[in-house]
Homo-oligomer: A and B are copies of this chain.
Amino acid sequence: MAKLKFVKRTSNKIGLPPGTLVHIGEKKIDKVRIRIIDYDDQQLTEKEVQNIEECFPFKDEPTVTWINIDGLHDVGLIEKIGTWFDIHPLVLEDIVHTGQRPKLHEFDDYLYIVLKMLYYDDTEAEVRDEQFSLILGKNYVITFQERVGDVFEPVRERIRSGKIRVRKRKADYLAYALIDAVVDNYFAVLEKLGEKIESSEEHLLNNPTPAKLQTIHSLKRVLISLRKSVWPLREVISSMERSETSLIDGSTAVYLKDVYDHAIQVIDTIESFRDFVSGMLDIYLSSLSNKMNEVMKVLTMIATIFIPLTFIAGVYGMNFAHMPELEWYWSYPVIWGIMIILVVGMLAYFKRKKWM
């Protein structure tokens, strides 16, 4: 069952001055991995580096540089990046504190964007999230993920292939392409979740077991937390689009509008799922009533048929000295006749009432 993970355990953080880097969240990877891709339309460098310092020279190159950090627990490293690229301490704090709402903060020299990457965990039928931070500077993009493995491989492929648009454009287009990849992935997650919902619904009407109720509620909860992750996205992207920063080129705006449309579609789909799952709850509850009705009908029919018959049998089981019927020869078969007529009458009554 989905647990209440609404609150990240932050107790160990309380009281520290703002801007103190403390990694809040599961440590999902052992060693931080740093990858760097540097390109313009002429050339491309891609490598994995051991020391973050190797990335620093790229800062002032006119080429587009994408530094990707997998793993957030090495706060020293994050701090070095912060110092070199002149990032505000509060931004660094948010990067390592995985519990941020999706948001956009604008600074003079860079934009800071936080998103959630979502993964559908098939085995537990749950949606897991990972915090994805992106810093967009003049000629560079720095991204921070909680662990190795992401949804950006296609973007890397496009950069490597060198044929297409991304290589001709600036860092803002790279940032767009990454955000687009994140949002595209939401559709994949929703597709799987939709299948799960559909399969949960089948047989619900016929077999409303308590376990089904559990499933409905855990789906509901997944949808609530999805909504929390996705809803602010809309605001983030539309702020980027409307932003007056010189970091985002006018020609990128139409691409952002496209991502915005996708974000709205994701939100719409989540809302539809919520409506759908509420409907499942209604079906569950009324199926319970239906089953109860059915049980009660069986009880009532049995009781209604046999209780009067038992009474008749009881009457002729009495031991009064003077009960003339007892002596009559045809009494016994007549009584059986009466009882059979009674049963047939009852059954006809139930038929008419549509209980059978």
Contacts and interface: CB of A to CB of B under 8 A. Distances in A.
Contact of A293 (B191, B288, B326): B288
A153 interface: yes
A246 interface: no
A321 B326 contact: yes
A232 to B, nearest CB: 8
A130 B332 CA distance: 75
A3 B198 CA distance: 8
Contacts of A16: 154
A181 B187 CA distance: 32
A231 B107 CA distance: 27
A129 interface: no
A164 interface: yes
A80 interface: no
Contacts of A295: 293, 296-297, 300, 355
Contacts of A3: 198
Given A286-B288, A289-B289, A319-B319, A258 B18 contact: yes
Nearest to A269: B6
A135 to B, nearest CB: 15
Contacts of A228: 268, 272
Interface residues of A, number: 117
Interface stretch (A41-49, A53-61, A71-79, A310-318): A310-318
Given A154-B16, A293-B295, A311-B309, A225 B272 contact: yes
Contact of A313 (B88, B289, B317): B317
Contacts of A321: 326-329, 331
Contact of A326 (B255, B309, B320): B320
Nearest to A223: B275
A282 B217 contact: yes
Contact of A187 (B10, B165, B254, B331): B10
Interface string A1-29: 00110110111011111110000000000
A352 interface: no
A10 B316 contact: no
25 contacts: A4-B194, A10-B191, A14-B188, A15-B153, A90-B254, A90-B258, A101-B264, A103-B261, A105-B254, A105-B257, A213-B283, A221-B275, A221-B276, A221-B279, A285-B286, A295-B300, A302-B308, A306-B307, A313-B315, A314-B314, A316-B319, A319-B323, A320-B335, A322-B329, A323-B332
Interface of A: 3-4, 6-7, 9-11, 13-19, 88, 90, 94, 99-101, 103, 105, 107, 153-155, 157-158, 164-166, 177, 180-181, 184-185, 187-188, 190-191, 194, 197-198, 205, 207, 210, 213-214, 217, 220-221, 224-225, 228, 254-255, 257-258, 261, 264-265, 268-269, 272-273, 275-276, 279, 281-293, 295-300, 302-304, 306-311, 313-323, 325-329, 331-332, 335, 354-355
